[in-house]
Amino acid sequence: MELVQRTDRHDGVAVLKLSNAPVNCLSKETRRRLADALQAVELDSTVTAVVLMGNGKAFSAGADLKEFDRPDAFMDRDLQHLILAQIESMTKPVVAAIHGVALGGGCELALGCHYRVANPDAKIGLPEITLGFMPGAGGTQRLPRAIGLEPALNLILKGNPVSGDEGLRLGLVDAVIHEDIEQGAIAFALRVATSRPLPLLRDKPIVHPNAVGFLDFVRRTVKADPHAPPGALSVVEALAAAATLGFDKGLEIEFDLFRRLAESAEAKAFRHVFFATRAAGRVPKPARRMPALATALVVGGGAMGRGIAVSLLEAGLTVSLLESDGGAREAAANWIRDHYRRQMEQRRLSPERMEQTLSRFASVQRYEEARDVDLAIEAVFEDMGVKLDVMRALDRAIRPEAILATNTSSLDVNELAAATGRPQQVLGLHFFNPAQVMKPVEVIRADKTAPEVLEAAIELVRRMRKIAVISGVCDGFIGNRMMTQYLNQAMFILEEGTMPWVVDDALEKWGMTMGPFRMLDLVGNEVPWAARKRKYLAHPHGVYPRVADELCERGWYGQKTGRGWYVHEQGKRRPKPNPDAAALIESHALKHGIPKREVAPNEIVERCIYALVNEGSAVLGEGIAEKASDIDVLLTSGYGFPRTRGGPMFHAETVGLTNVLRRMRRFAATGHGDKDFWNPHPLLVRLANGAKPYAEAGECR
């Protein structure tokens, strides 16, 4: 099929349709065809106006990201600019007719047209920043001319699209079309066909009372924000050029910033995470498919059960919640109702939507009341005995075709499955806390889980707008298992005499959203303590840092008890170092004869991050994770690993696997902490020796 289809009408309007399914990405070839088509209509004297739109479900989702990492990616700067310059020099109006999405390059194309019309629910925006780069074809120059400097900066820095209705209010579109977009746009084109001069955004001035002062303020704010995405500062500079240097110079500066950014390590890491996220949870189509899950039972109404219930309601399911404790039952139901009431008060939800959603929710007291559900998820106490009882009860009460899932964070899903008469329909769905907010869900494939059950669960996770990462069964699955080693290293470093806040600062400066000890205080130090106690029994000869046990023995769990590694004062956002924790660390080291040494920030980072890399290699080598990119997705979306570094496995490749290996061997030789842990996993050694990337781990297992 032609990438750009042309239809000529007897009234002089030519309709050009981008036809690059599914979302009309502006691949190089599509842009070439578009340039040809525009030239042809310009030269055709029977054409008086042009409607430019997309075939199918979208105007255009923008550039084809896959083209960014090709060696010739930026040789063709002029292709996109050429099209826009071509439109600007045309003698007949070009009307962009926006339906579905006009994002990134698609939005920039529309901004280059003389007019823009859109369906009310169209999504228009420049989301480049969320992928680690910035608009590169005039977006930063034309948008502020269309809607003003401050609104444009906000839209580009947040990357959120606006609707057609909102676009009209802002001045981004000229008319909203409530009926069929093509017919509406043609009618609009006929109305403006003879109107001259043809309006162009490049000709509009940017009006602002103090553009330089305002941009200076934003520049300083962005520079001070350690978590600002890689493109933020470049966007500010491009808008500064737009506001002070005129259109053509601005365009040049924008492209220069864009190219430098797109080729930067941070942007590459961001793109890696983007593609890795899309690839996560892909499974071969099973021979048999289950109908979409429509009803669910959640067992346990604690912190996790409530959030899981809300996530299921968001995916459109009818949800029952069973909680054995009367008080907790009422508290959970109230919490869910309050959650939706707050959403409504914050205008994120209409009163009708709230009523409709809550009408799908019920609190139940007996399993039999929910016997017809498609799925049951247990989120009761993390105790094998309790969970086995619940799985058996579910197996007896719930219809035999239903899926039974567990939200356990560490218990053996195979053992839970074996307690039922339907192990092929049992799996783990490991949500993160708070479940209604956090994106990742580890989908735990047990030994007997049927492919169609796995697929149905992944589909459900997607409907919840979350990210499914498949994991095999092991203690802690992928994420918590890796984080255990990371935390162990952080603890060993404490035992050598470095304070928690020094460790936190080093890792936060490196890019982790939150250092390990601030995170532990937030989650509660008693959670890993319980897991450690189980490990001491199961593997009594392991080497463990025990300093955190002493903290827990004093009841210093963290935020919830007001004290942990830090002192948490009510109403204060930033906790203060706990001097008693410092004394405890020193006396612990003395008691156990651990020599005191200074650990430099660089070593703190390397030991903690390479602990993730080594354990990640083990997880991959054992086939617990199916691919390295899944690990990167999980760590960046669930554990605050910086996206600008692409996840631990991508980061290790960026550093060079041989370099990582050399450091690990050095840690093993110096015997810091757990000496044996630093024996690199064989998979890592094989890949490093063969100069192969993690993507080829499958062949090296």
Catalytic residues: 108, 128
Do residues 338 and 469 touch, judged by C-beta distance below 8 A? Answer: no
Which residue in 25, 186, 380, 443 binds ligand NAI (CB under 6 A)?
A: 380
Sole window of 68-76, 268-276, 376-384, 658-666 interacting with ligand NAI (rule: CB under 6 A): 376-384
Secondary element (H or E) of residue 387: helix 384-397
Structure tokens at 330: 């009422």
Secondary element (H or E) of residue 6: strand 4-8
- Minimum gap (Å) between residue 573 Cβ and ligand NAI: 21
Report the residue number whose CB is nearest to ligand NAI. Answer: 302
Q: Which is nearer to ligand NAI, 232 or 635 (CB)?
A: 635
Distances (CA, A) of 295 to 240, 368, 399, 405, 456: 53, 14, 12, 13, 13
**Per rule CB under 6 A, is residue 559 in the interface with ligand NAI?**
no
**Per rule CB under 6 A, is residue 134 in the interface with ligand NAI?**
no
Which residue in 304, 512, 618, 634 binds ligand NAI (CB under 6 A)?
A: 304
**Per rule CB under 6 A, is residue 56 in the interface with ligand NAI?**
no
- Return the SS3 of 94: strand
Q: Which residue do the tokens 């354990």 mark?
A: 615
Which residue in 300, 440, 472, 545 binds ligand NAI (CB under 6 A)?
A: 300
Q: Which is nearer to ligand NAI, 73 or 393 (CB)?
A: 393
**Per rule CB under 6 A, is residue 334 in the interface with ligand NAI?**
no
H-assigned helices in 496-562: 500-510, 516-523, 526-538, 547-553
Sole window of 373-381, 502-510, 531-539, 621-629 interacting with ligand NAI (rule: CB under 6 A): 373-381
- How many chain residues interact with ligand NAI (CB under 6 A)? 23
Which residue in 433, 513, 561, 654 binds ligand NAI (CB under 6 A)?
A: 433
Nearest to 30 by CA among 49, 58, 71, 8: 58
Nearest to 355 by CA among 309, 313, 306, 312: 313
Which residue in 164, 305, 500, 545 binds ligand NAI (CB under 6 A)?
A: 305
- Minimum gap (Å) between residue 389 Cβ and ligand NAI: 6
Q: Could you tell me where the beta strands, DSSP code E, fall in 49-129?
A: 49-54, 94-98, 101-103, 115-118, 123-125
Sole window of 226-234, 323-331, 448-456, 619-627 interacting with ligand NAI (rule: CB under 6 A): 323-331
Sole window of 69-77, 134-142, 298-306, 528-536 interacting with ligand NAI (rule: CB under 6 A): 298-306
Pairwise CA distance, residues 394 & 176, whole Å: 52
**Per rule CB under 6 A, is residue 322 in the interface with ligand NAI?**
yes
Do residues 412 and 427 touch, judged by C-beta distance below 8 A? Answer: no
Q: Which is nearer to ligand NAI, 184 or 428 (CB)?
A: 428
Q: Which is nearer to ligand NAI, 13 or 467 (CB)?
A: 467
Q: Which is nearer to ligand NAI, 272 or 339 (CB)?
A: 339
The angle, 0 to 180 degrees and rounded to 10, between the axes of the packed helices 657-670 and 682-689 is: 130
Q: Which is nearer to ligand NAI, 180 or 389 (CB)?
A: 389
**Per rule CB under 6 A, is residue 150 in the interface with ligand NAI?**
no
Pairwise CA distance, residues 183 & 119, whole Å: 12
Q: Which is nearer to ligand NAI, 431 or 677 (CB)?
A: 431
Which residues in the 409-428 window bind ligand NAI by CB under 6 A?
Answer: 409
**Per rule CB under 6 A, is residue 379 in the interface with ligand NAI?**
yes
CB proximity list for 508: less than 8 A, separation 6 or greater: 226, 514, 515
**Per rule CB under 6 A, is residue 333 in the interface with ligand NAI?**
no
**In the chain, what is the straight-line distance between the N-terminal and C-terminal CA atoms, in Å?**
43
**Which amino acid, 382?**
E
Structure tokens at 392: 């058996």
Asked if the peptide bond before residue 351 counts as cis, ω within 30 degrees of 0, the response is: no
Which residues would be at the binding site for ligand NAI (CB under 6 A)?
299-305, 322-325, 328, 379-382, 386, 390, 407-409, 431, 433
